[in-house]
Amino acid sequence: MGIGSKVEEWYHQNGRQLPWRDTYDPYQIWIAEVILQQTRIEQGVGYFYKFIERFPNVQELASAELDEVLKYWEGLGYYSRARNLHAAAGQLVDQYAGNFPEHHSELVKLKGIGPYTSRAIGSFAFANPTGVIDGNVLRVMSRVLGDSSPINQQKTRKNFQEIIDQWVEGQNSRAFNHGIMDIGATICTPRKPGCMICPLVGSCVAYDKGLTQLLPYKEKKLKRSQKYLQFFLPEPTIPKLPIRQRPKEGIWGGLWEIPNVEVDLELWKKKESSYGGNYLTEFKHILTHLDLHIQVFELKGIEKIDWGEVQFISKEEIPKFAFSKAVLKIFDKTVY
């Protein structure tokens, strides 16, 4: 029995039951895949149901205001993905009459839909005979093949794509791809993999040669950038909170924030701000390639400082606006 058959057979007996696996609707599959690119399944389920309840189809998503879409994405991070969802929904309505193209080679032309997502929609909704490679699948393939090529290199992904497309030939691609993802998520885990219960153990070069703990291999990442920020809240006697909207480009594009400034490390270490005020708290917020070191101060007379284009809202109005996860952390750590 070949690898493809082993994976498909295992899936039919052991595959995970997930809400988006009960549908062939490309819209719901698309939303689920984008959500799961940035959060664990346990958290993703709630976001998935909430999002499709408000935006049940591509037409509803396309016609919504971007601010509202961002609000429903709040807490997931990577807000560019929410903006891309909104933009791609507009493309689908304007260029495809609201219908999804059925092949991954066309799907990849939509805003924000890359090789992984296009193949996922193509396989799970339209039975495209293509393999779908996520992080779990990369790990399974690296070990089964005994391949030490860096999995964070595009060349490796391209080679693996050619191989997995061969594995999926003659199989139900939907079942195969769900199966190999589940094997990676539940058996072929990063640490302490369950090799003795893996359906691919007889074909696994890493297991045969004792290389399981050495694979997959990743090239070391470049040194992360560091940024030091000070955020400002009004003192409790002031009933209104100043907020402003960030530029559409860059981190937290289009989201709302409270006033803040970037400072140098020397000032940050002193726990003092150039505006004065009471030091409240600090924490580190991690982005993909950037560490944000955040301090929070309580300012007297915050409403008299020129923060640019701001509006003042009450605490009760905070839920109406889409804030970054960092700002939500600030609210959690303070009286807000």
Tell me whether residue 262 is one of the annotated catalytic residues.
no
Q: Which of 8, 33, 74, 257 is catalytic?
A: 33
Cα–Cα distances in angstroms (integers) from residue 151 to residues 128, 143, 179, 208, in the given order: 24, 11, 20, 21
Question: What are phi and psi for residue 229, nearest 5 degrees?
Answer: -125, 145
Question: What are phi and psi for residue 85, nearest 5 degrees?
Answer: -55, -45
Report which of 81, 200, 196 is spatially closest to residue 146, judged by C-alpha positions: 200
| The pair of three-digit structure tokens given for residue 183, joined into one six-digit string | 């094997």
Q: Give the Cα separation of 82 and 79 in Å (integer).
A: 5
First to last CA, the chain: 60
Three-state DSSP class for residue 8: helix
Q: Give the Cα separation of 283 and 198 in Å (integer).
A: 41
Q: Give the Cα separation of 154 and 51 in Å (integer).
A: 32
Strand partners, 285: 292
Q: Is the peptide bond before 216 cis (omega within 30 degrees of 0)?
A: yes
Question: In whole angstroms, what separates CA 22 from the centre of its chain?
Answer: 22
Q: Give the Cα separation of 201 and 203 in Å (integer).
A: 5
| The pair of three-digit structure tokens given for residue 31, joined into one six-digit string | 């939303």
Question: What are phi and psi for residue 261, nearest 5 degrees?
Answer: -140, 150
| The pair of three-digit structure tokens given for residue 119, joined into one six-digit string | 């193949």
Q: What DSSP assignment string belongs to 179-208? A: HHHHHHHHTS-SSS--GGG-TTGGG-HHHH
Residues annotated as catalytic (active site), given as ranges: 33
